[in-house]
Amino acid sequence: MTHTGIVVEGLRHSYGGRPAVDGLSFSVQKGEIVGFLGANGAGKTTTLRTIAGTLEPDAGSVHVAGVDTRREPLVARTKTGYLAEHDGLWDGMTTRAVLAFHGAVRGLEGALLEQRLAWLSQRLELVPVFDKRVRECSLGFRRRIALAAALVHDPEVVLLDEPTHGLDPLQTRAFRALLLEIAPHKAVLFSTHVLQEVEAVCTRVLVLQTGRLVLDAHLRDLRLQAQALHCTVEDLVVRAAARTQAEVATP
Amino acid sequence: MTTGSRTGRAAWSRGVYLVARREAQATLDSNVAVATLIVALVASIAPFVQGFFLSGVVDATPFFLALPWTLALCLAALSMRLWSEEVRLRTMETWRALPLSPLQLVLGKWLSALLLHAVYLLLTTPVLLLLAAHGPVEWSRIAGGYMGSLLLGAWLLALGAWISSTTRDQTTAYVLSALTALALLALGDLRVWTVIDGWFPHAQAGSWLAAHLSPLSACQSLARGLVGLDAVVLLLGQTALFLWLNQQSLRAKTR
């Protein structure tokens, strides 16, 4: 497998017999930023968790940066940066300690680690809280600390679950700029409910409905289609998300 | 990105070390750990010192013989937070996303708690100075007692860590850990196993459980300076079993 991004094939996962993700297949190439859309409970978080390796799929395969997440889960995780839905930060640690720990676990040491911490603290504007405990930080700062922890080892694959949740408009704009800056060297998949965000940064969009992919399209194609149909990209995405499973099954 | 050059066993050990270090920092940050340390010291030293001044016998054995019961109650307070705290803080997913195996996580957390237990044992050494000031001390017995206490701590913390991984609530984890530890210890008490033997006179179930399941007799023989291989194997074997169960419990959470 020489693919440098994400390859998901036939992914299935169920909770107590209820399928959350059902036969999902897609790929994200290096250099792509792909928006992951869908209603609550559509299976976005489950999909991101199985790619990140925090959840074992019932069936199917996931490759990140050419590594099978089932066969070599630890290697796959060194190549992945994952921002979870809940920031998952240890309250008692300082920002510096959190980032140093995440870096050290991924093999970063000494000057290289310090260099990454300095870059991330500058880029994500974490300097004011760098030596503060996480519990003393606002929601916006916590989200950015978690994002820095996901990026500290400069991963090839970046998975972001609602990354701008809790950020103010300025912070959201800064986040988008960072994403565009790092994207040429990474495969980025992020879930969101905000279509404007997808339109602002994404090259492609995936729409999930009840665990199935109902739309996989390049944004430029969607824009052209919207122009032709005299509607908006949002209309097309909403229409796709509103399809029933029977419609999905019928070509 | 070029990262550290450690590979294989060195990288694996470093992973365990990093988890243990993070946990030790978190433990020191928690008031529960400091309070547990103080309570354990007072609960174990005060009755012994009182008994020593009443009897005047220079012997550390009573101190080590009472320790399993005190530690069963105190170390459960330390182990209860090891995993259930992560569930409360919603940080389990963070652990699972790191390139660390469940065994590395389990060992790291357990070792950090064991380190605190070792600190506790170190802080009980003034008891020895008190004894040495009043007469000749049998150092081999004391060495056996400390070895037994360290192994018992490892056993209790492994048991408590496993139970902590099965529940979301720290209080539940404490109660279950303390009760399970007390029950397993009690199985080795003469008064308990003779009663069980009385219930099943042909099977001798009580004596079998006391010899093969309860760590009490192993601790008692170590407290008397009798370092038997069977006692060490029993304590280490059960510790390994609880650590394995803890690892299995973590694996089950990703399904």
Q: What is the mean pLDDT of the segment spanning A43-62?
A: 95
> Considering CB atoms only, which of A101, A108, A154 is closest to B22?
A101
> Considering CB atoms only, which of A74, A88, A108 is closest to B93?
A88
Distance from CA of A83 to the nearest CA of B (A): 9
Identify which of B47, B93, B84 has the alpha carbon closest to the alpha carbon of residue B175: B84
Cα gap B18→A88, rounded to integer Å: 18
Mutation target among A105, A117, A143, A185 for the B interface, most CBs of B within 10 A: A105
Most confident segment among A150-154, A223-227, B82-86, B209-213: A150-154
Give the pLDDT score at A3: 63
Among A98-112, A231-245, B6-20, B213-227, the minimum mean pLDDT is found in: A231-245
Distance from CA of B143 to the nearest CA of A (A): 37
Residue A56's CB: how many other CB atoms inside 10 A? Answer: 16
> Considering CB atoms only, which of B18, B29, B30 is closest to A105?
B18
Q: What is the mean pLDDT of the segment spanning B174-178?
A: 97
Give the pLDDT score at B2: 42
Confidence of residue A147 (pLDDT cuts 50, 70, 90): very high
Integer CA distances (angstroms), A248 to A28, A43, B83, in order: 22, 16, 42
Integer CA distances (angstroms), A215 to A203, A208, A226, B2, in order: 14, 7, 14, 37
Contacts A84 to B, Cβ<8 Å: 93-94, 97
Give the pLDDT score at A250: 54
Contacts B88 to A, Cβ<8 Å: none
Q: How many CB pairs under 8 A join A and B?
A: 76
Q: What is the mean pLDDT of the segment spanning A4-14?
A: 94
Confidence of residue B230 (pLDDT cuts 50, 70, 90): confident
Chain A residue with minimal CA distance to B11? A107
Distance from CA of B20 to the nearest CA of A (A): 11
- Please list, in sequence order, all residues whose beta carbon lies within 8 angstroms of the beta carbon of residue A182, skipping any fewer than 6 positions away: A151, A158, A188
Give the residue numbers in A contacting B (CB under 8 Å), as ranges: 49, 52-56, 74-75, 77-78, 80, 82, 84, 86, 88-93, 97, 101-102, 104-109, 112, 153-154
| A249: pLDDT strictly greater than 70 | no
Taking every pair of C-alpha atoms in chain B, what is the biggest distance, in angstroms?
69
Chain A residue with minimal CA distance to B25? A93
Helices (H), B124-228: 126-132, 139-164, 170-186, 190-199, 205-212, 216-223
Cα gap B75→B158, rounded to integer Å: 10
Across chain B, the runs of DSSP E, i.e. the strands, are none
**8 Å CB contact of B90 and A52:** no
| B238: pLDDT strictly greater than 90 | yes
Most confident segment among A171-175, B184-188, B205-209: B184-188
